[in-house]
A and B are shown apart, each in its own frame.
Chain A
């Protein structure tokens, strides 16, 4: 009487998605906040395009990459907080008493992040294009952009799952937010890597994986098809996702000591 892995993932995915959609307080800020920063930064930093070597005339096009990463940060918080709540309320124990597989639990939980990722990416892209951003890679590029964005969102989501399983509290997960913030701010977020003139800042940004995620998104918006940048972006997302999943599985094992 044991259900298949696919069925289990499906059931948990359904729950995770329902739960995400029923918490507008999670979705709305995750969409609105990055768009607000987009507007502010576009207005405030327009002059940066006059710097010699700036890759585009449109600062909006350049900075449009940022909301995708910020949206992914919200996914860490959301997936992590949801799972932490399951641990705190004992819901995880309820699930543990069913013939549920660990892999199904983790994948199912990421389904919420996946859906949120699609909604966010579509919203950012739509608003960006309406406001006049360029998309050099064309309609197919839009598809790849959404895909990349979802890959990043899900990859970051695994870190949220890990934190929830490792620490077991929503507060600990929320405590991660500043850490991710640091990663975002110490990257080539507002200017391209070459124009980061402060040496130490340049050094940090050039080893910060977020810089390359941004560059992969920017390549589609500004250049068109730069396979090297795209491969690096997808590769980093996959690596973060794989590491996060590995860490989360191991944390799940110690959290769920069921025999």
Chain B
């Protein structure tokens, strides 16, 4: 399976497990591959096991079992080599509020062993690149959330890593800061061939940025593929309709039932996943018309990653984290 490119700049994970004392398996047998230059989005609610996976892949936490190779190096046996080939911006933008941006850069480049002259130039180049040149000599304590994230990214890139781990890089950022960071990450992959492993709890982020997405829930990888593939897989759009006369609701359910499986009832009406895809919409309207059912409201929903998550886990991604401890109950509440 392993190709030459993956060996030099990709990620391979096999049956990776991490157990914590007195806790459930935070990561429970994950297999995945990320090719060189690919942006892989690791999507899941809070507590799904995303960060634990990142900590293992970045050598900060030893796996309980299973194996992983990052940049061609084994994360357990070859920690130092792995660390030399990766950059990581972990969940908290871990910065020292008392140091300036430039001092952070200097420390990071020095610890990575860059020569004196290169430290300065590389630092300036990266600060420029993430748009912090003007704030380089200010203490980080006064930076905004977006500035901290950008500095974090610049620090992760200090030693020109081939693989970049970003753990929820845009959590808590406003839309503009988020978009700016997305652009920079996309550019890194496209122009510099950097492999990006990105965790997120935002569907839009995975959708906008990732070449491929893995969905993780309760430590399991429940789905994997390009966003388009994943949507196509469950991938039928949903039509939602409401009758003008409340008395027609039952008949409407029967008519819609001819076109596909029910997708839960909405307060406004009846929803069905169309077996034949979008093109069936016209037939649905004709069929309802033929039965003489007046339509109050009709809407077609294109499938989203949330639908994928819903289909695979029985829960919606939004709010899945809050329901975390009460698995059994939430399962029964899920739509068919």
**Do any CB atoms of chain A lie under 8 A from CB atoms of chain B in the complex?**
yes
Question: Does A250 touch B at the CB level, under 8 Å?
Answer: no
Interface pick from A3-11, A169-177, A183-191, A236-244: A3-11
Question: Does A179 touch B at the CB level, under 8 Å?
Answer: no
Report B196 CB to chain A, min CB distance, Å.
16
Given contacts A3-B110, A15-B107, A259-B75, contact A97 B58 (CB under 8 A): yes
Interfacial chain B residues near A97, Cβ < 8 Å: 58-60, 83, 86-88
Chain A 1-33: CB-based contact to B (< 8 A → 1; otherwise 0) = 111000110011011001100110000000000
Asked if residues A259 and B111 are in contact (CB atoms below 8 Å), the reply is no
Asked if residues A18 and B98 are in contact (CB atoms below 8 Å), the reply is yes
Interfacial chain A residues near B61, Cβ < 8 Å: 257
Contact with A90, one of B75, B78, B90 (Cβ below 8 angstroms): B90
Asked if residues A7 and B86 are in contact (CB atoms below 8 Å), the reply is no
Report A15 CB to chain B, min CB distance, Å.
6
Asked if residues A1 and B90 are in contact (CB atoms below 8 Å), the reply is no
Interfacial chain A residues near B60, Cβ < 8 Å: 93, 96-97, 256-258
Interfacial chain A residues near B76, Cβ < 8 Å: 259
Given contacts A1-B159, A259-B62, A259-B76, contact A99 B112 (CB under 8 A): yes
Interface residues of A in 197-230 (CB under 8 A from B): none
Report B70 CB to chain A, min CB distance, Å.
11
Report A259 CB to chain B, min CB distance, Å.
4
Question: Does A50 touch B at the CB level, under 8 Å?
Answer: no
Chain B 75-93: CB-based contact to A (< 8 A → 1; otherwise 0) = 1111110111011101110
Question: Does A95 touch B at the CB level, under 8 Å?
Answer: yes
Asked if residues A19 and B96 are in contact (CB atoms below 8 Å), the reply is yes
Given contacts A97-B58, A258-B60, contact A91 B94 (CB under 8 A): yes
Contact with A8, one of B59, B111, B114 (Cβ below 8 angstroms): B111
Report A26 CB to chain B, min CB distance, Å.
10
Question: Does A100 touch B at the CB level, under 8 Å?
Answer: yes
Interfacial chain B residues near A18, Cβ < 8 Å: 98-99, 103
Residue of B nearest to A14 (CB): B107
Asked if residues A89 and B80 are in contact (CB atoms below 8 Å), the reply is no
Asked if residues A19 and B113 are in contact (CB atoms below 8 Å), the reply is no
Question: Does B155 touch A at the CB level, under 8 Å?
Answer: yes
Interfacial chain A residues near B99, Cβ < 8 Å: 15, 18-19
Question: Does B209 touch A at the CB level, under 8 Å?
Answer: no
Interfacial chain B residues near A96, Cβ < 8 Å: 60
Asked if residues B94 and A1 are in contact (CB atoms below 8 Å), the reply is no
Bound form: Cα–Cα A123–B61 in Å: 45
Chain A interface size band reads: 20 to 34
Contact with B59, one of A2, A23, A100, A258 (Cβ below 8 angstroms): A258
Is chain B's interface secondary structure helix, strand, loop, or mixed overall?
loop
Question: Does B108 touch A at the CB level, under 8 Å?
Answer: yes
Report B317 CB to chain A, min CB distance, Å.
25
Question: Does B321 touch A at the CB level, under 8 Å?
Answer: no
Asked if residues B79 and A7 are in contact (CB atoms below 8 Å), the reply is no
Residue of A nearest to B160 (CB): A1
Given contacts A257-B61, A258-B60, contact A7 B110 (CB under 8 A): yes
Interfacial chain B residues near A86, Cβ < 8 Å: 96
Contact with B79, one of A3, A89, A91, A258 (Cβ below 8 angstroms): A258
Given contacts A259-B59, A259-B77, contact A98 B94 (CB under 8 A): no
Question: Does B189 touch A at the CB level, under 8 Å?
Answer: no
Residue of B nearest to A20 (CB): B98
Question: Does B95 touch A at the CB level, under 8 Å?
Answer: yes
Asked if residues A257 and B62 are in contact (CB atoms below 8 Å), the reply is yes
Asked if residues B62 and A2 are in contact (CB atoms below 8 Å), the reply is no
Report A2 CB to chain B, min CB distance, Å.
5
Interfacial chain B residues near A91, Cβ < 8 Å: 94-96
Residue of A nearest to B114 (CB): A1
Residue of B nearest to A3 (CB): B113
Contact with A98, one of B78, B83, B91, B95 (Cβ below 8 angstroms): B83
Bound form: Cα–Cα A99–B83 in Å: 7
Interfacial chain B residues near A2, Cβ < 8 Å: 80, 84, 113
Asked if residues A99 and B90 are in contact (CB atoms below 8 Å), the reply is no
Residue of B nearest to A105 (CB): B111
Interfacial chain A residues near B155, Cβ < 8 Å: 94
Report B153 CB to chain A, min CB distance, Å.
12
Extra contacts besides A3-B113, A98-B111, A99-B84 (16): CB < 8 Å: A1-B112, A2-B80, A7-B113, A11-B110, A12-B107, A14-B107, A15-B99, A18-B99, A23-B98, A89-B96, A94-B90, A94-B155, A99-B83, A258-B60, A259-B62, A259-B75
- Would you give 5 A-B contacts (Cβ < 8 Å), ordered by A? A90-B92, A96-B60, A99-B83, A257-B61, A258-B59
